[in-house]
């Protein structure tokens, strides 16, 4: 099955207006014939915020931000995946949540990031709470869709669980911090998740001073079939990557190398 995806390597919006920025990307994606548009992690933020700032900007999944994104999906007849800081009903720090909306503006999935990045002087756990479930496939007209977030990429169990559940495409909306060898890590991990699960993997990275960029799509053989510019030093430019994939390539790869069929899950329980 042919699927055209649009991956927004977006930055912090001018004057903090993420919705206006989303509208511009949606117009371009729709004009290019895309069926699916994906935004990076931290998409809703006006800039780098501390824990209190993130808590203040958080909203419920039926709040104004989510409704505005649903309107954009409906207006442009696009499936959209975006990441929101979801208000915590217990009053604590918010969840970092990936939301999937269909082309009619109906919310079809919400995944709370379950691996928080506490490394290299960054404490994500100071500003958000980890979810307690792995992502579940989202039913779409183009097959089950997997959505995980950024640091989840470093845990192969996440993509493997989605592959076993039937996904042929897994998305990683991310805000991959710049630093030594970070683009190499990013590209290697995305390609590895694609190769070991024999599916398509798309990494959608935030642009700007702090992040690597290098949004890309890897096919089931690990080949990079589309990408944006990026740098381990940061200052990644904004871009929109348009890529048409053929999900039938997943079955072709698995027929030739039936890795999933050769698993021994009874040995992996512990």
Q: In this predicted structure, what is the pLDDT of residue 78?
A: 99
Find where tokens 């002087």 sit: 121
Mean of the pLDDT values across residues 84-102?
97
Q: What is the pLDDT of residues 29-47, one digit of tens each?
A: 999 999 999 999 999 999 8
Beta strand segments in 75-139, E: 79-86, 95-101, 107-112, 118-119, 122-123
CATH 3.60.110.10 applies to domain 2-267: yes
Q: Give the active site residues.
A: 41, 113, 150
Q: What is the pTM of this model?
A: 0.97
E strand or H helix at 1, and its extent? none
Could you tell me if 6 and 204 are in contact, meaning their C-beta atoms sit under 8 angstroms apart?
Answer: no
Q: In this predicted structure, what is the pLDDT of residue 14?
A: 80
Please give the Cα distance from 260 to 62 (Å, whole number): 38
Could you tell me if 134 and 171 are in contact, meaning their C-beta atoms sit under 8 angstroms apart?
Answer: no
Q: Where are the domains of the chain?
A: 2-267
Q: What is the pLDDT of residues 230-269, one digit of tens each?
A: 999 999 999 999 999 999 999 999 999 999 999 999 998 8
């Amino acid at each position: 099955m042919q699927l055209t995806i649009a991956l927004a390597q977006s930055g912090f919006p001018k004057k903090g207006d993420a919705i206006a920025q989303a509208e511009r990307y949606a117009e371009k994606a729709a004009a290019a014939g895309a069926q699916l548009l994906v935004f990076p992690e931290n998409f809703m933020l006006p800039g780098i915020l501390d824990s209190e700032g993130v808590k203040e900007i958080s909203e419920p999944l039926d709040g104004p931000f989510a409704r505005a994104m649903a309107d954009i999906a409906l207006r442009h007849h696009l499936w959209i995946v975006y990441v929101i800081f979801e208000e915590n009903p217990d009053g604590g720090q918010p969840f970092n949540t990936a939301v999937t909306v269909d082309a009619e503006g109906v919310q079809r999935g919400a995944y709370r990031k379950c691996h928080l990045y506490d490394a290299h002087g960054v404490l994500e756990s100071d500003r958000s709470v980890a979810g307690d479930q792995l992502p579940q496939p989202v039913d779409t007209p183009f097959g089950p869709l997997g959505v995980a977030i950024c640091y989840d990429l470093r845990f192969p169990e996440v993509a493997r669980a989605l592959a076993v559940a039937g996904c042929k495409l897994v998305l990683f909306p991310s805000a991959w911090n710049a630093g030594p060898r970070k683009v190499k890590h990013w590209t290697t991990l995305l390609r590895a998740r694609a190769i070991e699960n024999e599916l398509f993997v798309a990494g959608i990275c935030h642009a700007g001073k702090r992040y690597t960029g290098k949004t890309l799509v890897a096919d089931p053989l690990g080949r990079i079939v589309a990408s944006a510019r990026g740098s381990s030093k940061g200052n990644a430019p904004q871009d929109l990557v348009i890529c048409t994939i053929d999900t039938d390539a997943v079955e072709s790869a698995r027929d030739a190398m039936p890795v999933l069929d050769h698993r021994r899950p009874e040995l992996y329980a512990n």
